[in-house]
Amino acid sequence: MEPLIEAGKSGIETTCADNFVRCIFPILAAYVADYPEQCLVACCMENRCPCCLVGRDERGENTKSPLRSPAATLGTLSEHKEGDHPYLFDDEGLRPIYYPFWADLPYTDIFACITPDILHQLHKGVFKDHLVKWCTLLTSEDEIDARFKAMTNYQGLRHFKKGISAVSQWTGKEHKEMERVIVTILAGLVDSRVLKVARAAIDFIYYAQYQSHTDNTLARMQEALDIFHLHKDVFVELRPGDDFNIPKLHSMLHYIDSIRSLGSADGYNTESPERHHIDYAKEAYRASNGVDYVAQMTKWLQRREAVDRHSAYLNWVSAVPMSTSRGIPDSGLFTRSGIIPGHAYRLPKTCPLPSLPVNRLVSTFGALDFVPAFQAFLTEHKPDSRIPASTIDRFNVYKSVVILLPSVPHISDKNQLNKLRAHCATPSHSLRKSDTPAHFDTALIIQDRDLHREMGGLHGGLYHD
């Protein structure tokens, strides 16, 4: 980091992407690291917060403390180096690192540069190491596993068919999959106050992963944090002896201020460099023979990058023209229809149940209201149709439909595909195979988006007494 000292003060000429040479002043603004390295950089012990002056026994409270000051910290370290014994050295939990690398960096407040770590602080820390552990102790491991096993299979949702106690390798992917269903797992199993704490923690974790924020989302994030601290003492009441003086719980207090000053926390998540470590280091090493592996890894990466660049060029050349209305590929994969207003959908190429008579829809599938509903649909959406509804007596029946949902900018810039399945039990024609059970997915469809926004979306009663 030493070259940044002079460059930050005097500037350095750099050729930019537009071929213009500009004088830039690189300033350290964010420092991404795990908790032990954060404490090392902040020159403090690991039983303290690297950002603020909270007491070592007060990290479980929902109270903000004054931030550490670079000038004051350097002054205290200098006095201690000279042989003095300033009381602030022990009160602030400092350790004898007398010349940290950031001491001469211009315009840098290292304590404000320390960024949130969603992977280790929230996914692995708050959720896996604490919330799941507390809830398991209040119930039992077998009961939690039984509920995970009993969950209905759903497209795109991981089914822990062996429970969660059998998972040996926990990664961020497993944590996220558990977070999606943990509230429903705990519903009816734990005290209502425990459920409030669990939902508040999950809400905070999901808000922290937003790609963009507004004052409204940050206010909801703060509300979830307040609810968590308001009801967290229920764990102490039900299991005396536990406490919340935990660094990862305290780190949640700094998320909102960090997002306001440095941007959304997903940009500083250590999950990205850890993923890159697998792609660019572990896989590259496996591709070598272990002899002079640095040169082999470099050559392997260069070839991979060349292939990726050429593939991107070929995809650009053969790109499918896009619809100007909703950005949907005009390739026949998706068709517009009035059945699902405002959405595109895709059906299987081959209809599994073609030309079924109406009486079978009623007798086999139990669709008692299909005929009047179909007539009402034609009246509302096809008023000029020349074909009377009463003359249509056969229909193609599909077991699934894929719906293209519009992207949600603050969550992801990619469109999402939702697959909905609905079919009755299918008897097996082989003695070796069991019957295929019935499967019916639940779908919530917004018919009036403006009214939905006006009403504030869906609401639950978990936050209300």
Q: Where are the domains of the chain?
A: 3-113, 118-268, 271-317, 335-454
d(CA 357, CA 341): 27
Instruction: Spell out the residues 6+ positions from residue 132 whose beta carbon is closer than 8 angstroms to its own.
Output: 164, 178, 182
Range scoring the smallest mean pLDDT among 249-253, 313-317, 340-344, 369-373: 340-344
At residue 391, the pLDDT reads 64
Q: Which amino acid is at 249?
A: L
32 closest CA partner among 281, 260, 265: 265
pLDDT in tens, 191-204: 899 999 999 999 99
320 token code pair: 């499918």
At residue 44, the pLDDT reads 94
At residue 115, the pLDDT reads 93
200 token code pair: 């508040």
Could you tell me how many residues make up the chain?
465
Query: Band of the pLDDT at 220, cuts 50, 70, 90?
Result: very high
Q: If you average pLDDT over residues 68-73, what whole number do you get?
A: 94
pLDDT in tens, 296-352: 999 999 998 999 999 989 988 887 544 433 333 333 344 444 444 455 788 888 888
155 closest CA partner among 399, 432, 452: 399
